[in-house]
Amino acid sequence: MEDLVNIFIKGVFIDNMIFAYFLGMCSYLAVSKTVDTAVGLGAAVIFVLGVTVPINYLLENYLLKEGSLSWLGSGYENLDLSYLSLIMFIAVIASMVQLVEMIIEKFSPSLYSSLGIFLPLIAVNCSILGGALFMQERQYSTIVEATSFALGSGVGWFLAIVAIAAIREKIRYSNVPGPLRGLGITFIITGLMGLGFMCFMGIKI
């Protein structure tokens, strides 16, 4: 249990998707104009990460990794399909996103109308694929650990986008030099926030 909490906290602060790895920057910059939309997109990212990483974990361990096909019986033990992992991961992510979009559309139209436009964006949000690739690289030992890592990184992404959206709402009342307005100042603020988040680096929990 302690391990799970540690992995979660590590995902939120130390290995923050945005400030430590710059994953999911595009939608982070494009959809952070107001806090409301930022909360919507952030929630969608947590949700999709939480669904796709465990599925990809199962794929990785029962299909792709060297020796993972041994449940098919002898003869399959030495098969290494890991060169297929990128295609498999992205296919899972894209189909899950489309599936989730259809389900939400059917059962909760109000959620769909507030989240709807963000869902297709998420398929190409690098943080989702990044989550799958980091899961593969770090070799979590159980599916529960992988899920807790996914939720942690999702929450970290959520925090980051809500924070920048709040700052951008405030900055509207400041006198930013013309050419720096909008995108430019957002980049620089993110950089400064990243420098702040670097103080978490190297902390061992």
Residues near other proteins, by CB under 8 A: 19-27, 29-30, 83, 86-87, 90-91, 93-95, 97-98, 120, 123-126, 128-130, 133-134, 137, 171-172, 176-188, 190-195, 198
Query: In the bound complex, what is the minimum distance in angstroms from residue 26's beta carbon to other proteins?
Result: 4
Any idea of the CA torsion for 118, 45, 120, 167, to the nearest 10 degrees? 30
- Nearer to other proteins by Cβ, of 1 and 87: the residue is 87
Query: In the bound complex, what is the minimum distance in angstroms from residue 165's beta carbon to other proteins?
Result: 14
Contact by Cβ (8 Å): 195, 20: no
Contact by Cβ (8 Å): 76, 69: yes
Query: In the bound complex, what is the minimum distance in angstroms from residue 80's beta carbon to other proteins?
Result: 14
Query: In the bound complex, what is the minimum distance in angstroms from residue 169's beta carbon to other proteins?
Result: 10
- Nearer to other proteins by Cβ, of 147 and 190: the residue is 190
Distance from first CA to last CA of the chain, Å, rounded? 14
- Nearer to other proteins by Cβ, of 144 and 185: the residue is 185
133-169 CB burial, b ≥16 within 10 A, e <16: bbbbeeebeeeebbbbbbbbbbbbbbbbbbbbbebbe
